[in-house]
Structure 1
Amino acid sequence: MKEAAFYQPRKNNTVQCLLCPHYCVISPGKNGICQGRINIDGSLYSDTYAKISSLAVDPVEKKPLYHFYPGEKVLSVGTYGCNFRCQYCQNWEISQQKPALTTVSPEELVELACQKNTIGIAFTYSEPSIWYEYILETASLAQERDLRVVLVTNGYINEKPLHTLLPVLDGINVDLKSFRTNFYKDICEGTLNPVLENITLMAARVHLEITTLVISGENDSQKEVEKMFSWLSTIDSDIPVHLTRYFPAYKFKKAPTSLGKMEEVYQIARKYMDYVYLGNIQGDFGKITRCPVCGRELLVRDYYTSRKLMKGNKCPQCGKEIYGEFK
């Protein structure tokens, strides 16, 4: 356990957490909404510090990151808890419950990433931003060892903590869940605007990719999808977009999103964005990276294995510079 950053004491030994837009006011002995921060005698502590629920070596494509060192491996690690309550959560066993945990220090985690011959560490599985102190320390050590650091996040964090964290991050994938305020309020118990503001900030500082889980009848209307990707294109049409297919999970029992709907959303997104990919779907469609100028195949994928057909980051046919970090 470690004293938390970004909080302020209040009367009667309560504290207010300033890490995310919930601004939880926490009584002694209680946790915030995220379950990862606890008030002990009027001081706020990271209850998840160095506590790990999940650890694996993955292809970086699995995060998903398609334009960030494709073909390389990354050490994926997560804790428990989340500052959202998404009713369809795919990882609810660790985001909404407290599973069995192991303790791994920042130094030990960095050493493990080196031993496993990975490009670095991806903080993922549950919401990593609530693991703030641990990530900040680990990422600083990882940089000293020339390792890359990735965050797979819902983007729900306040601006000041994010500004402090960005210098030690190399890549981020943000789960943009919808483009409707009511979706975030009713289904995720959060708000949309802070996520949009943070996407704008992240895009200017680190490698960024976006993931949206497409749920029939919830976030897949033509109007909403058009607005989402029209807005994202104003930031940078080069940002890679991953559209993943919903399957029933946690409290959502809706039927899986149809393949026809996935292709429809894909085609709308392609009107605005240069790189759009389909996840949770078999076959090559929506998996290949092509030059947005001449259409040349540049990266071919088989599940989570990438084969690179270009040198550096330029199309060998027309010379277009391709967005991303490539070995």
Structure 2
Amino acid sequence: MNEKLTTVTHDRGCPNDAIGRLENVDHDPSDPNPWVALYLDTSVPFNECAKASILVDVSSRSRQFLFPLIRPLCRLTICLLKVVKTLIPNAVHSSWLLHHSIYHGLRIFVSPYANHLIMRHFHIGSELLAFVANNTKGVDMELSPLRPRALKDLVADVFLKHDLNIYNFIIEINRQLNEKELEFEAQEELDYSCITDGEFPIEPLPNGWLNFLDLESAIEIYTPAYQMLLTDADFWRASNSLQLDETISLYATTLIGDHRFLGLVNNRHPIIPESTLGTGHRLMLHGLSAECLHAFLVKKKREQARQQSAAPQLAE
């Protein structure tokens, strides 16, 4: 296959042409474009390039025509695999095969917009955990950040490590707080140094003639693959980790002293697990929540920088 890499760079730093595609749509008041309306709306904090990538991705023909066929077939596969896994829970499992199959699938079939969002997600997840760790008094956390620069980096068990990092983080930070009888508390001075204001160092992504598949269709396809090639316990843990959006968001907003963001969290109540059948859609919501929380922190970082720059002038 002749594979090319995206080299389009928008003037605002976006590594693909998503922003340009939306901004070049002509507005017809009698037939307004719903994706342009959502792109221009600023009610929800969102990285501009990531938002454009999502909207171009969900408005694709793949999402419109293939996704309705892919989802029921993949959910039926999950049900069948659940029966098999009940009888032989750990007969077939290979994290190596899972991550290599995901890598090759992303490289060959998935759109550059979807791949851009996937790669961003691991950087964002690492920075959100670092923000909580750096601003929680009384804890000393040793983190394992995931910073993939190219799709090839994902083969190093990155998807599995992403879930493990979240659980290990929650266990360790709460163990330390409980031992010292401390709690998460709002801080007057917050450290935003770990939050990237701009694009992450991600290499150009494949943009061949087969790179057409949208993000949610790809997620639906890989959910049964995840179930088949991981142990039953690993799959359940990965699925249930999606509801930890609420937990991490509570940590961050408590430290900031502003809980308005929690209204944007859709994966909630981790004590009561959801069915694994909806894992694909919940994973989309997980990515959305992470993007919004990160954008919220970027906004707070900019506000802090403005206040600090204005302080010397006021003193004069």
Task: Tell me the TM-score normalised to structure 2 length.
Answer: 0.26
Q: Flag the structure with more relative contact order, 1 or 2, with Cα contacts below 8 A and sequence separation at least 6.
A: 2
Normalized per residue, the structure richer in helix is 2
Normalized per residue, the structure richer in strand is 1
Greater Rg over alpha carbons, structure: 2
